Structure 1
Amino acid sequence: MTTTLLRLLCARSGDATLDYGTLLGDGIELVVGSATLIDASRTSRAAGVGPCPGLRLLRLYAVGSTGATLSSVPAGAACALPLAEFQDAAWLRAKLEELPHDAPVTVVVGGGLTGIETAVELAERGRAVTLVCGRTPAPAFSAAGRCYIATWLSRHGVAVLAGVSVSEVRQDAVILDDGSADGPAGGAVRPSALTIWAAGFGVPDLAVASGLRTDPLGRLLTNETLTIVDDDRVVAAGDAAARSGRPLRMSGYAAGPLGAQAADTVLSRIAGTRPAVLDLAFSGACVSLGRHAAVRQLARKDDTAVNVYIRRSGRRSPCSSTPPSSG
């Protein structure tokens, strides 16, 4: 499940779930539980389910990502709500419905694509939204792409506070800091009836708890075939994998190809053939700007932006002389 779908659920713009019966093929058994350990006997254990001996031959580790922890921000974990999992989005949706429509500003903390998409969905629903960014919205985009996004946000009433951080979260406000004692945002109090935290990613601690080798964030270390370095019977994919210690950008964009690569590795191992090495190139990133606009930023293979972007919108952009794209 991607954060793009979660913010639709949060803002009542769409749904975020599909029945597993529409996804799983014949002969696949679904076991629902919370994984607690991958032990030395090569048997996975799940809370409420117990050992899963059918997983002894080959296992695919694809636990995904979570929101970043808020322990470094005073009262952050208690007063700011994340948007990283289905339960988070459902809770946020319920909290928003409790607020008067003209309630004090809802603050979305995080200038990445999750923060931008959440802010614009709420703005299109008529909410007063402030987007707080440590740098600038969409910092990985080209200058022209960032300009287009900033213009869209301004035209649709999203207040953007760039170059500031949140030093404290309260029940009804956030405390901002621009890094200087006398700066315009230094210690400023921003009213917020609901604070949504969309800054950064983390991963579940299952790999660390199982004693497997990980990178500093907790992602399983794998080789170029996505086989983990500790146990050749475990293949890892998605946000929770760090291929050769060089993890790809955490994103739904990478999850699909990595899942296909992991499946090919598993099938090769079953067939007794040598798995292929990963050969994945990024071509850019996409950001949705509500129901009627979007930006596709093009990039080099190493995921660095080039000065070309494609937009879908009914307006001409002041950042480019190129007419709006219909694709």
Structure 2
Amino acid sequence: MTGHNTSHKVVVIGGGYAGTLAANRLRVRDDVAVTLVNPRPEFVERIRLHQFVARTGQATIDYGTLLGEGVELVVDSATRIDTAARQVLLASGGALDYDYVIYAVGSTGAVPSVPGAAEHAWPLADLESARRLRARLDELPPGAPVTVVGGGLTGVETAAELAERGRAVALVCGRTLAPYLSSGGRRYVAKWLARHGVTVLEGVTVTEVRPEAIVLDDGGVRPSVLTIWTVGFGLPELAAASGLRTDALGRLLTDETLTSVDDERVVAAGDAAAPSGRPLRMSGYAAGPLGAQAADTVLSRIAGTEPAAIDLAFTGACVSLGRHAGIRQIAGKDDKAVNVYIPGRAGAIIKEMTCRFVVSKRIRGEARKPGSMSWPKGGPRPETPATAPVTPA
């Protein structure tokens, strides 16, 4: 570590994968005072929420086992970033002075616009939602019809986890089951779901959610005592409320170093970042490198050097199918799946190892030795914006 006399105050907003890693990495210098602001006293393994709901695993970890020495945890919610006063205002009424902010608020489930969904569907994107959903599942008899809406990776994992526990599950996919996967990967997932009794509905969408049924766009009405909604992402409105420009979804608009286009003292990480209006895929895979990149940008500015541009290559994705099967989908550096995948028990082992690696090797690795994390690089950046026009400040 480098010794200096002046203390630089950095406030990290959000204690998910990106924010926690960034907070640990900032300790490369011993003249940086790091404060991590998070609304919960525990770290949430979001990639395990489907296990938590099905009672096949836990999804929280004590921050005391994750944060490096010197990182101060403030259990509170940020309500505004006062860029003029350089303060983060808190829901409790307090305020934190800063020299730099790392904006790592993460994402959550999108508020559905489908009639009845907001009232009768159950989201799964955060710990509080998962707790309510788990309690509701406990009230239902095993044969009660459950519908999972959303054929992406989260929807597939949730449907598979519940089916393996003996639930009667239907999975509404919209256009395609698991569209990220290769054609061979999709066929494997479809066969596994069929063997475990999951009714997969492709090419249809939900047009209404009722208390104990769903209505489809083909006019069909299906019983659904519990409807789980896994479609779409939303983001907190903290950036816009602070006068900082965002994209249409609410991600902070940054340059290629993850620095806000409005204020060089605000740097984004994880799902909350939209570099050049061309965000990377929201994922646990990207969160760690983006957290590290954000920390490096802040450290470069403190040192008076030019921050590096974002450089991340994707390698694919892992999907669990219950506790005993899974699939490791291989992709090119551009995050496009190729027709190579590892299915079955081996896929499940790789998925579990990946989940553990993110926490034990990346986050705890940075706690033990700040600045040690590396990641695959050389991936191409998309040429065109992936979102609608920017929301003005």
The match for 1:175 among 203, 215, 219 is 215
CA distance in 1, matches of 2:81, 2:275: 19
Q: Does 1:51 align with 2:51?
A: no
CA distance in 2, matches of 1:200, 1:268: 35
Would you say how many aligned residue pairs link Structure 1 and Structure 2?
A: 306
For 1:156, the equivalent position in structure 2 comes to 196
The match for 2:133 among 92, 97, 113 is 92
Does structure 2 retain, via aligned residues, the 8 Å contact 1:282–1:299?
Answer: yes
CA distance in 1, matches of 2:292, 2:152: 26
Query: SS where residue 100 of structure 1 aligns?
Result: coil
Alignment of 1:106-255 (within 5 A): 106-177=146-217, 186-255=218-287
TM-score normalised by length of structure 2: 0.75
Does structure 2 retain, via aligned residues, the 8 Å contact 1:310–1:325?
Answer: no
Q: How far does residue 194 in structure 1 lie from its aligned partner after superposition?
A: 0.7
For 1:65, the equivalent position in structure 2 comes to 107
CA distance in 1, matches of 2:171, 2:105: 29
For 2:123, the equivalent position in structure 1 comes to 82
Does structure 2 retain, via aligned residues, the 8 Å contact 1:108–1:115?
Answer: yes
Q: How far does residue 313 in structure 1 lie from its aligned partner after superposition?
A: 3.0
Does structure 2 retain, via aligned residues, the 8 Å contact 1:131–1:160?
Answer: yes
CA distance in 2, matches of 1:326, 1:60: 34
- Aligned residue type for 1:176: L
Q: How far does residue 40 in structure 1 lie from its aligned partner after superposition?
A: 3.3
Does structure 1 retain, via aligned residues, the 8 Å contact 2:108–2:126?
Answer: yes
For 1:40, the equivalent position in structure 2 comes to 83
CA distance in 1, matches of 2:70, 2:348: 44
TM-score normalised by length of structure 1: 0.90
Q: Residue by residue, what CA displacement relative to the aligned partner does 1:235-261 show, whole Å, maximum 9, x if unpaired?
A: 100001001111000111111111111
For 2:8, the equivalent position in structure 1 comes to none
Q: How far does residue 2 in structure 1 lie from its aligned partner after superposition?
A: 4.7
CA distance in 2, matches of 1:277, 1:45: 29
For 2:25, the equivalent position in structure 1 comes to none
- Aligned residue type for 1:232: E
Q: 1:112 to 1:10 in 2, by over 3 A?
A: same
The match for 1:256 among 264, 288, 291 is 288
Does structure 2 retain, via aligned residues, the 8 Å contact 1:107–1:131?
Answer: yes
CA distance in 1, matches of 2:264, 2:47: 34
For 2:337, the equivalent position in structure 1 comes to 305
Q: Residue by residue, what CA displacement relative to the aligned partner does 1:223-280 show, whole Å, maximum 9, x if unpaired?
A: 1111111111011000010011110001111111111111111222222222221110
CA distance in 1, matches of 2:52, 2:345: 23
For 1:282, the equivalent position in structure 2 comes to 314
Q: Residue by residue, what CA displacement relative to the aligned partner does 1:129-164 show, whole Å, maximum 9, x if unpaired?
A: 000011121112111111011111101111101111
CA distance in 1, matches of 2:46, 2:190: 21
Higher helix share: 2
- Aligned residue type for 1:8: Q
Q: How far does residue 326 in structure 1 lie from its aligned partner after superposition?
A: 7.8
Query: SS where residue 30 of structure 1 aligns?
Result: strand
The match for 1:102 among 143, 153, 156 is 143
Percent identity, please.
67
Q: How far does residue 49 in structure 1 lie from its aligned partner after superposition?
A: 4.0
* More displaced stretch, 295-304 vs 213-222: 295-304
Query: SS where residue 31 of structure 1 aligns?
Result: strand
CA distance in 1, matches of 2:213, 2:312: 43
CA distance in 2, matches of 1:196, 1:289: 17
* More displaced stretch, 305-314 vs 257-266: 305-314
- Aligned residue type for 1:166: V
Q: How far does residue 200 in structure 1 lie from its aligned partner after superposition?
A: 1.1
Q: Which runs of 5+ in 2 are unaligned?
A: 1-43, 351-393
CA distance in 1, matches of 2:303, 2:69: 20
Q: 1:325 to 1:209 in 2, by over 3 A?
A: closer
Q: Which runs of 5+ in 1 are unaligned?
A: 178-185, 315-323
Q: How far does residue 218 in structure 1 lie from its aligned partner after superposition?
A: 0.8
For 1:7, the equivalent position in structure 2 comes to 50
Query: SS where residue 318 of structure 2 aligns?
Result: strand
